Amino acid sequence: MDQISPFVEASKIQNTNLVPTGVRWHVVTLLAIMAGLTYIDRMNLGIAGKYVQEEFKFDSQTMGWIFGAFSLGYAVFHLPGGWLADRFGSRRVLTGAILCFSIFTAVTAIAPSLPVLGLLGAAWSFAIVRFVMGLGEAAAIPVGNKMMAYWLGEKERAFGTSIFLAGVGAGGVAAPILIGWMIRQWGWRACFLLLGAAGTVLAFVIYKYVTNRPEEHPAVNAAELASIRSSSKIGPTPNHSVVVNNVPWIKVFSSPSMWGLMISHFCLVYPVYIFVTWFFIYLVRVRGVAIPKASLWTSAPFIANLFMVPLWGWLSDRAAERLGKRRGRRATVWLGVACSAGLLWSGSHTANNTLAIAQLAAAGGLNFAASSVLWTTCNDIAAKYSGSISGLMTTFGSLGGWLSPILTAAIATRFGWTYALDFAALVTVVSGFAWFLINADQAID
């Protein structure tokens, strides 16, 4: 339902002398679970890859292409996925995105046996399935972020968005444990089938429970709606639609804030992908950490995410309330960026392994925390079409993620790992300077 009845909306804004319902926090929780599931599904082949490689006799280069197929699909569909949500409504597009990545997660278990794909060979079968899975995951986070614009008032938007994004940290922590356990119990195929089934159930739950706007939800009372809309730029007008026929792309690309967000996200994702791709190898080969301990420490940045991201969301809302959104959002990002870059630099130069790794893990958590403010700012400057601009920002972030493992390896090989991490700290600082371009108080349109 994209348009809502004037009678339904009018009845919800007549009486605000009630105790507010908490439906918006149920929606945020469901979206956080969705965000966590995307990361578990993203990491599943990396954890099960050893068994896939042995069964199908793939060499490392072939396995690398299969891994990269997901990243390619993930990179190219952020913007189209966000635009689809702006054009047709978040609920339907999000449900479709979850079904897409869940179905193709399950299909990974039988990819070489499929009638058409099987003719191409096992490697191409896995690569195509992972590519399509990446398309679904690419849409999920920008579309979920668009929902934050409608379901949360401005005074709680950063905190709610941070809970949504903390699901990524939870997924990063849970993935090695959960997937490893399922493989030991039932084999590698079972983990893909079970995760695909779980995602399908989640898609059904979100479709039945979550609506595009709180005005459409039967369980939202007048007090909760007043709390959401009292400070929101999305007013409770009966004829307001959740769909946008035309995104003003000229205004988007001519906005300094948009360019600041894209540059900042590129520079923040760059160091994150060091933790995703190289951190375990760095701990084992450079720091000499035993493999069991290295596995535990690899999860440390994601554990830090669980604590730091909600804290930064709360802090961003308080700072915006006191200083205004422009200075409040900027100050919160600068604090996170400065601490993350400083710890990344100091950790790379610390000889004691425990102290060094703790600093690097904290740097990762603070990076995630600063990044969460960028997503909130997308809703600050363009709530009506935040799906499109969230997708555009994430596309730039994915480019940073693509460049990160390549450039990190080149620097580490030529100059050493300390210089590679120092460069990542410098890139993190650049993300803070990009905020001189960003004005969260000024809407694009």
- CATH code (residue 407): 1.20.1250.20
Model confidence at 14: pLDDT above 60: no
| Structure tokens that stand for 185 in this block | 């119990």
Model confidence at 346: pLDDT above 50: yes
Report DSSP state, residue 385. T
Give the pLDDT score at 23.
92
Residue 236 in domain = no
Closest CA to 427 of 444, 411, 413: 411
Could you tell me the pLDDT band of residue 118, with boundaries at 50, 70 and 90?
low
Report the pLDDT averaged over residues 380-398.
85
Residue 445 in domain = no
Model confidence at 276: pLDDT above 80: no
Report the pLDDT averaged over residues 146-169.
85
Give the pLDDT score at 238.
40
Give the pLDDT score at 45.
82
pLDDT tens column, 201-256: 999 999 999 999 899 999 988 888 888 877 555 554 443 455 555 778 888 899 99
Residue 37 in domain = yes
Closest CA to 138 of 387, 403, 431: 387
Q: Does residue 130 sit in the same domain as residue 273? A: no
Model confidence at 7: pLDDT above 50: no
Structural domain count, the chain: 2
Q: What share of the chain has pLDDT > 70, as a percent?
A: 91
Structural domain harbouring 137: 6-229
Model confidence at 48: pLDDT above 70: yes
CA angle, residues 210, 85, 208, in degrees to nearest 5? 20
Residue 240 in domain = no
- Of 20-34, 159-173, 309-323, the poorest mean pLDDT is in 159-173
Give the pLDDT score at 271.
92
Q: Does residue 61 sit in the same domain as residue 144? A: yes
Q: What is the phi/psi pair of residue 52, to 5°? A: -65, -45
Give 8 or 52, the one with higher predicted confidence. 52
Of how many residues is the chain composed?
445
Residue 243 in domain = no
Could you tell me the pLDDT band of residue 55, with boundaries at 50, 70 and 90?
confident
Residue 271 in domain = yes
Q: Does residue 320 sit in the same domain as residue 394? A: yes
Give the pLDDT score at 60.
67
Q: Does residue 300 sit in the same domain as residue 386? A: yes
Give the pLDDT score at 202.
97
Q: Identify whether the C-beta of residue 440 lies closer than 8 Å to the C-beta of residue 366.
A: no
Q: Does residue 300 sit in the same domain as residue 368? A: yes
Could you tell me the pLDDT band of residue 150, with boundaries at 50, 70 and 90?
confident
Element (H, E) at 412: helix 386-415
Q: Does residue 209 sit in the same domain as residue 323? A: no
The segment with the largest mean pLDDT, out of 76-85, 127-136, 241-250, 387-396, is 127-136
Q: Does residue 150 sit in the same domain as residue 262? A: no
pLDDT tens column, 15-47: 545 788 889 999 999 999 999 999 889 878 877
DSSP string, 273-321: HHHHHTHHHIIIIIS---HHHHHHHHTHHHHHHHHHHHHHHHHHHHHHH
Model confidence at 428: pLDDT above 80: yes
| Structure tokens that stand for 367 in this block | 């990076």
Q: What is the largest CA-CA distance in the chain?
A: 68
Q: Does residue 304 sit in the same domain as residue 346? A: yes
Residue 302 in domain = yes
Model confidence at 285: pLDDT above 60: yes
Closest CA to 23 of 223, 229, 236, 220: 220
The model carries a pTM of 0.77
Q: Does residue 94 sit in the same domain as residue 222? A: yes
| Structure tokens that stand for 393 in this block | 């920002």
Give the pLDDT score at 234.
53
Q: Does residue 70 sit in the same domain as residue 204? A: yes
Q: Does residue 352 sit in the same domain as residue 399? A: yes
Give the pLDDT score at 15.
52
Residue 190 in domain = yes
Q: Does residue 26 sit in the same domain as residue 127? A: yes
- Of 57-61, 272-276, 335-339, the poorest mean pLDDT is in 57-61
Report DSSP state, residue 215. G
Q: Identify whether the C-beta of residue 390 lies closer than 8 Å to the C-beta of residue 310.
A: no
Give dist(CA 155, CA 132) in Å, integer.
37
Report DSSP state, residue 230. T
| Structure tokens that stand for 54 in this block | 């042995």
Rounded to the nearest integer, the mean pLDDT of the chain is 85
Q: Identify whether the C-beta of residue 278 lies closer than 8 Å to the C-beta of residue 408.
A: yes
Report the pLDDT averaged over residues 348-355.
92
